Structure 1
């Protein structure tokens, strides 16, 4: 089987082999074994470049017979490199093996290309997370209430994992929500307004909550490489509050 993809993670395996995780266009996440040649004892397929792989084997763990570069590698450093490590850990932890996710593959290519430029990192990462959640079916609908009712821009809502968006009328909630937000903020998030600072802050809170639920008790190692800045904005009942209706 010939596939195109990117190396997501490598780790040593026996004396002359490397375990390699690939994000491929044709088969999604693929786990393989790369046998190093004697004269290339330290060489294994590199990250951040599109490669064509020749894979063999019927089990979940494939043998990588060859890897040929299809384009020049993307050079990343500093915070952009750490951001890529974070994205790779999300892919490795959350994607099922052997299922194609072509839109996510396209989104990953877009992300790696833009990480090497001058664009701010936060909008890039939030956009990738948004696409990842959509592909995995774990994103909460932010364009309507949990009952399917249309949103009102100035109405305040509470957001829960289980119930989605529910109108909020002032009483202390019995179950602590992920966030409070008005309809304008929810609709801006659903429209992907990553150029809006409040939407980015909202997305950061939501995505972290959704990731923590999806990942379980094992935290992401790569988070320690990225700057940690807790939410320091407005709160209601000690819960982050986001409002855009006053700007309309």
Structure 2
């Protein structure tokens, strides 16, 4: 089997062998073992480099028979590099092995290409996280209520993992929501207004909550590498509140 892909993670295995986790265009996340040649004993394949792999084996763990670079590697440093580490950990923790997810492969390629440039990092990460949620079916519909009713811009809503968006009329909630937000904020998020600071703040709260829910007790170690600023805006019942304004 020949596939194109990026190495997401490497770790030593037995003697001259290395375990490679590869995000591929054709087969999603693949776990494989690569046997180093004598002259490559101290060299491991690098990240951010599109390669073509020839793989063999019928089990979940494939053998890498050959690997060839298809283009020059993308060079990342500083927060861009730490952001890529975070994305790799998301892929490792959330993607099932062997499930073809070509749109996510395309999105990953887009992400690391733009991390190499001067684009703001936060919108890139939020867009990638959303792509993961969409592919795995764990996102909440932000363009309508849980009953499928259209949103009203000025109406305040409460958002829950299980129930989605529900109108809020001032009562103290029995179950703590993820956030409160008006319809305009929810629609701006659904439209992907990543150039808006309020939408980015909302996305950060939503995505962290969805990721924590999906990961359970597992902790993303790479989060500690990225700049972190707690939400310091308006709250309702000690829960973040978002009202959208242009």
Matches within 5 A, 1:155-234: 155-234=155-234
Structure 1 residue ranges, 4+ long, deviating more than 6 angstroms after superposition: none
Instruction: Work out whether 1:47 is the aligned partner of 2:50.
Output: no
Instruction: Work out whether 1:114 is the aligned partner of 2:127.
Output: no
Pick which of 174-183 and 221-230 moved more: 221-230
CA shift at 1:44, angstroms?
2.1
Provide the C-alpha distance between the structure 1 equivalents of 2:154 and 2:9, rounded to a whole number of angstroms: 45
Q: Secondary structure of 1:125's partner? A: helix
CA shift at 1:41, angstroms?
0.5
In structure 1, the gaps of 5 or more residues are none
CA shift at 1:46, angstroms?
1.1
CA shift at 1:15, angstroms?
1.2
Instruction: Work out whether 1:33 is the aligned partner of 2:1.
Output: no
Match of 2:243 in 1: 243
**Deviation per CA, 1:9-46, whole angstroms, max 9, x where unpaired?**
00000110000000000000000001011111012221
Q: Secondary structure of 1:81's partner? A: helix
Q: Secondary structure of 1:223's partner? A: helix
Provide the C-alpha distance between the structure 2 equivalents of 1:128 and 1:35, rounded to a whole number of angstroms: 32
Match of 1:89 in 2: 89
Q: Secondary structure of 2:133's partner? A: helix
- What is the aligned length? 246
Match of 1:128 in 2: 128
Provide the C-alpha distance between the structure 2 equivalents of 1:42 and 1:87, rounded to a whole number of angstroms: 26
**Deviation per CA, 1:46-103, whole angstroms, max 9, x where unpaired?**
1001000000000000000111000100000000000000000000110000010000
User: Contact 1:143/1:186 (CA < 8 Å) preserved in 2?
Assistant: yes
Provide the C-alpha distance between the structure 2 equivalents of 1:205 and 1:3, rounded to a whole number of angstroms: 36
Provide the C-alpha distance between the structure 1 equivalents of 2:42 and 2:93, rounded to a whole number of angstroms: 26
**Deviation per CA, 1:110-162, whole angstroms, max 9, x where unpaired?**
00000000001000000000111000000000000001000000000000000
Q: Secondary structure of 1:181's partner? A: strand
Q: Secondary structure of 1:52's partner? A: strand
Q: RMSD value over aligned CA atoms? A: 0.6
Q: Secondary structure of 2:48's partner? A: coil
In structure 2, the gaps of 5 or more residues are none
Match of 1:9 in 2: 9
TM-score, normalization: structure 1?
Answer: 0.98
Q: Secondary structure of 1:84's partner? A: helix
